[in-house]
Amino acid sequence: MLPSSMRLKAKRDPRSAPESLPSCRFCGSPLAHLFVDLGAQPPSNAYLDAAALGRMEATFPLKAHVCERCFLVQLEAFQTPDEIFGHYAYFSSFSQSWLDHARRYATHAIERFKLGAESQVVEIASNDGYLLQYFRGAGIPVLGVEPAENVAAVARGRGIATVSLFFGRETARQLVREGRQADLLIGNNVFAHVPDLNDFTAGLAIALKPTGTLTLEFPHLLRLIEDCQFDTIYHEHFSYFSLTTAEKVLAAHDLTVTDVEELPTHGGSLRIYAQHRGTALPSAAVVALRQREAKSGIIDISAYRGFAERTAKVKRELLRFLIDAKESGKHVVGYGAAAKGNTLLNCCGIGGDLLDYVVDLSPHKQGRYLPGSRLPVHAPDMLAQTRPDYVLILPWNLAPEIEQSMGHIREWGGRFVTAIPRLAVRP
């Protein structure tokens, strides 16, 4: 039997019965409403070596659906978690603003939860130890759970205890057997990354001590819709959450959201605090955000209509700018070999004809090529060597940090450009 990805590409006899709709990964309802179709794209973190340029890349439909029952926006899974995350190209420590965010959170959490040498902090998808290093530095026992062995090895090299496992019920039970149930259980930008949402959430409940606190950070669906952040949609982001839907998912596993904070990270994120049911009541902030989401229409399917056309408008604006720049003899390059940038470039069909190259701080990406567009990735010092007229900032959420660190491009008249939520050429 053909694998599922090949069956999707196979030609269907038009006389045959309609293909069945995919089902919601949380509630199981048929996914009848298409939120946006971004075309067939390669996995956004599947960077290429030079030897791979002569071969075809695997591509999969990048279609986001919205469940009309629980309003979870989601993608179908075409690859296994091991194929996506077994060897990972993203290392959190290469963004100073993200490190600053992590340090502030650790300081706040230590004080708020009175954490000390007798406490246990566990982070799911702990990456290279970017966050746990601040808890460990305060003398608090930590454990990272990071499935990408190449990334976990970097964390262990820093002295951060890390196990290379995928998280779910089985891993959570292992932590309990080892006496590592968490006083503070952290999941930053991982809730969206799990195809088996119910197994993962059940694992969170198991791994959390009866009096412990869970915190999760994830991009806020409301901000994604309001600011047309379609580039945050890529294959490893299986789900996109509002507070309303996140509460439903956690409640199904006897976890109650007790507090929420709105954060500027990733273009607008939520940090939710949750505890076992019956431990505490939702705060006024939770009630207020629930009401604001309801007022915005987040629990009405009509709120999701029109997003595709707004996405197409952003695409047209960017292409118009790049074509005009090239025809005027200008040189345009990209900054940031980010996953979201790959979604944008591949959705727009942008390649070497419109963008000369991309630079990135991470040595793990330098010397490689972006998936799909196949643009070469260089170190940032390439900007001074080639003096481009425009630098398109692909991780637009980091634009202030990038503009400050790369401000020398203005010495030769270079300008920064962002495409989302609308085209902006910065002085």
pLDDT, mean of residues 392-421: 95
Q: Is residue 295 predicted with pLDDT exceeding 50?
A: yes
**48 plus 156 within the same structural domain:** no
Q: Taking a C-beta distance cutoff of 8 angstroms, is the pair 272, 285 a contact?
A: no
**59 plus 117 within the same structural domain:** no
List 219's β-bridge partners, or say none. Answer: 269
**70 plus 108 within the same structural domain:** no
Residues 60, 76: Cα–Cα separation, whole Å: 10
- Strand locations in 251-380 (E): 255-263, 269-276, 332-335, 358-359, 377-378
Q: Which of 250, 271, 304 is the last residue of a domain?
A: 304
State residue 90's pLDDT score. Answer: 59
299-355 residue pLDDT tens: 999 999 999 999 999 999 999 999 999 999 999 999 999 999 999 999 999 999 999
**282 plus 403 within the same structural domain:** no
Kindly provide the b/e burial profile for residues 144-179, where b requires at least 16 CB atoms within 10 angstroms of the residue's own CB: bbbbbeebbebbbeeebbbbbbbbbbebbeebeeee
**236 plus 372 within the same structural domain:** no
Q: Which of 38, 59, 80 is the last residue of a domain?
A: 80
54-77 residue pLDDT tens: 999 999 999 999 999 999 999 998
Q: Is residue 94 predicted with pLDDT exceeding 80?
A: no
**157 plus 204 within the same structural domain:** yes
In which domain, by residue range, is 179 found?
Answer: 92-304
Would residue 309 count as lying in a domain? no
**351 plus 252 within the same structural domain:** no
CATH number of the CATH domain containing 136: 3.40.50.150
Residues 265, 218: Cα–Cα separation, whole Å: 9
**What's the number of CA atoms in the CB half-sphere (13 Å) around residue 386?**
19
Distance in angstroms between the alpha carbons of the first and the last residue of the chain: 56
State residue 88's pLDDT score. Answer: 58
**178 plus 153 within the same structural domain:** yes
Number of domains in the chain: 3
pLDDT, mean of residues 266-284: 95
Give the phi and the psi of residue 22 in degrees, each rounded to 5.
-65, 160
**76 plus 113 within the same structural domain:** no
At residue 347's C-alpha, the angle toward residues 65 and 63, to 5°, is 15
Would residue 159 count as lying in a domain? yes
Cβ–Cβ contacts within 10 Å for residue 64, how many? 24
Closest among 328, 369, 321 to 346, alpha carbons compared: 369
Would residue 85 count as lying in a domain? no
Mean pLDDT score across all residues of the chain: 92
Single-letter amino acid code for the residue at 24 = C
Q: Is residue 417 predicted with pLDDT exceeding 70?
A: yes
Instruction: Decide: helix, strand or coil at residue 144.
Output: strand
Would residue 131 count as lying in a domain? yes
Total-model pTM? 0.89
H helix or E strand, kind and range, residue 66:
strand 60-66
Residues 252, 409: Cα–Cα separation, whole Å: 52
H helix or E strand, kind and range, residue 318:
helix 307-327
Kindly provide the b/e burial profile for residues 405-419, where b requires at least 16 CB atoms within 10 angstroms of the residue's own CB: ebeebeeeebebbbb
**375 plus 277 within the same structural domain:** no
CATH number of the CATH domain containing 347: 3.40.50.720
Q: Which of 50, 80, 110 is the last residue of a domain?
A: 80
**34 plus 59 within the same structural domain:** yes
State residue 6's pLDDT score. Answer: 31
List 60's β-bridge partners, or say none. Answer: 41
Enter the DSSP assignment of 413. T
Would residue 87 count as lying in a domain? no
Would residue 150 count as lying in a domain? yes
Q: Is residue 16 predicted with pLDDT exceeding 80?
A: no
Three state DSSP letters for 28-44: CCECCEEEEEEEEECCC
| β-pair type (332-335, 121-124) | unpaired
**101 plus 74 within the same structural domain:** no
Would residue 313 count as lying in a domain? no
Would residue 312 count as lying in a domain? no
